[in-house]
Amino acid sequence: MNEHDTVTITVPSCGLHGRRKIFTDQSEITSENIIEILGKAYAVHCLNRKEIRYLYDYYRGKQDILSKKSIARPQINNKVTINRANEIVTFKTAYLLGEPIQYVSNGGDDGVSLNVNRLNEFMRSEDKDSKDKEVCDWMHICGVGVRMILPDPVGEKEGSPVCIYTLNPAESFVIYSSGIGELPLAGVIRQKDKDGQWMSCIYTATKYYEIKNEQIIKNEYHTLGRIPIIEYLNNDARMGAFEVVLPVLNTLNVIESNRIDNVEDFVNAFDVFQNCELAPGQYEALSKGGMAIQIKGVQGMEAKVYRISSEMSQTGAQTIVDDLNQVYLTVCGMPNRNGGSSTSDTGQAVLYRDGFEAAESRAKDSEKTWKRSEREFLKLVIRICRDTANLNLNISDVKIAFTRKNFANLQSKVQVLAEMLNNEKIHPKLAFEHCGIFTDAEEAYRMSMEWNEEHKTAQPVSTESILV
């Protein structure tokens, strides 16, 4: 994630409702219409880019509270930023991708399983799990993560035949057709050339363009057969994880800042000298920590010295803070830690009580939108690997598996596996698929059956069995 150039743009949090999807009425992008289509696309993307920069700055801690002003006493103006946006993004990404995404065999023969394992090795060599995290962070910050896949010029000799890049969504996007299916027509990257001049790099399914100053400076074919730029969405509204609760987060910052202001205001309360006057230098001595002061009153009038101070109810303020904290945790689907001290609850009761079940349901919802983009990613990866590394796979051979909770309640799952394997009416393969222990149930079943056959063959026949 790069630092943004130009002046920081302030976007009202009430005006954020997700990023706009960029469409064109054209059914195909060609060298004849690309300049016009790109100009219209940038008009929409500029609005998205402004909001993406705001959300990214908010995630980094540059939040609305930093523009707070104090009218009554300008010298007391505390600006407390409690970065809950960072907390939300970090938790969402860590929970969704707690373990690396795995590709597993979708049935078939042993050759398919071996090729899927080889595909996983390619992804490990490319360090895909860390790049998944980068895309997922962007997805939770601004609603959209962008990824690009290209053939590795070095090839499989260095470990993987593909190169995977995470792009800044403020400078990259996909143009879709406005027709049925809203198919992607082009991927766009805005970047600087070696002279520091901005230019646009555009990939269609068959061609690559470079455009600078509304002029096509490069126009050539590529052999990928697909658009190598793919968008990953947090949801169909393209909203970030904390975007929906921005007003709540801003209110919490205001309350915390005002509480500190109130404490400082109470400590620095005004001194009032009623119907009395001080000798020269007495107040300065009092301000420096004098323990006593002598005043001269006015005849016939009561003399008083007191302080003007008022302190807000911290209990009342804390009640509001607790309520708002509960609101943003509930809306974002995060654990609320209601358990507090030790209780008698165990197992699933703890998960429901502390909100982890809500977090799990939100993660499953995010899995669906992630898999939709991941399949497009896989189609191109498999094509490149087939052409450059002789990897004989089809997209239908591969399943995308999130391994987040494979080892939760492990003892219960092992008992389910054992009981299903001991039931003669249940095929052993079904036991491996539905017990929930194995990431790749197909591979686990194959290995176990092979081991079982070898074990039976190697086991010596006892004398008792021969006599019987």
Half-sphere exposure of 174 (CA within 13 A, CB side): 23
pLDDT at 138 exceeding the cut of 90:
yes
Task: Tell me the mean pLDDT in the region 329-347.
Answer: 68
Least confident segment among 129-138, 202-211, 253-262: 253-262
Task: Tell me the mean pLDDT in the region 86-107.
Answer: 89
CA–CA–CA angle 219, 126, 440 (5° rounding): 120
Q: What is the band of 468 on the pLDDT scale with cuts at 50, 70, 90?
A: very low
Q: Which residues pair with 211 in a beta bridge?
A: 200, 216
Task: Tell me the mean pLDDT in the region 433-461.
Answer: 69
pLDDT at 350 exceeding the cut of 60:
no
Beta strands in 107-238 (DSSP E): 144-151, 162-167, 172-177, 184-192, 198-203, 207-212, 215-221, 229-233
Buried/exposed 207-232: b ≥16 CB within 10 Å, e otherwise = bebbbeeeeeeeeeeeebebbbbbbb
Instruction: Give the residue, 276 or 359, on which the prediction is more confident.
Output: 359
- pLDDT tens per residue, range 140-192: 999 999 999 999 887 656 678 999 999 999 999 999 999 998 999 999 999 99
Phi, psi of 200 (to 5 degrees): -115, 130
> Does the predicted model carry a pTM greater than 0.85?
no
**CB count in 10 Å sphere of residue 402:** 20
Written as one letter, the residue type at 285 is: A
pLDDT at 82 exceeding the cut of 80:
yes
**Among 102, 158, 39, 125, which residue's Cα sits nearest to residue 374?**
102
User: Could you tell me which residues come within 8 angstroms of residue 130 by beta carbon, excluding any fewer than 6 positions away?
Assistant: none
Which CA distances in Å does 308 have to 178, 283, 298?
66, 16, 21
- In whole numbers, what is the pLDDT of the chain averaged over residues? 82
**Can you tell me the distance from the alpha carbon of 198 to that of 175, in angstroms, rounded to the nearest whole number?**
19
| Residue 7: per-residue pLDDT | 39
Q: What is the band of 440 on the pLDDT scale with cuts at 50, 70, 90?
A: low
pLDDT at 375 exceeding the cut of 60:
yes
| Residue 410: per-residue pLDDT | 64
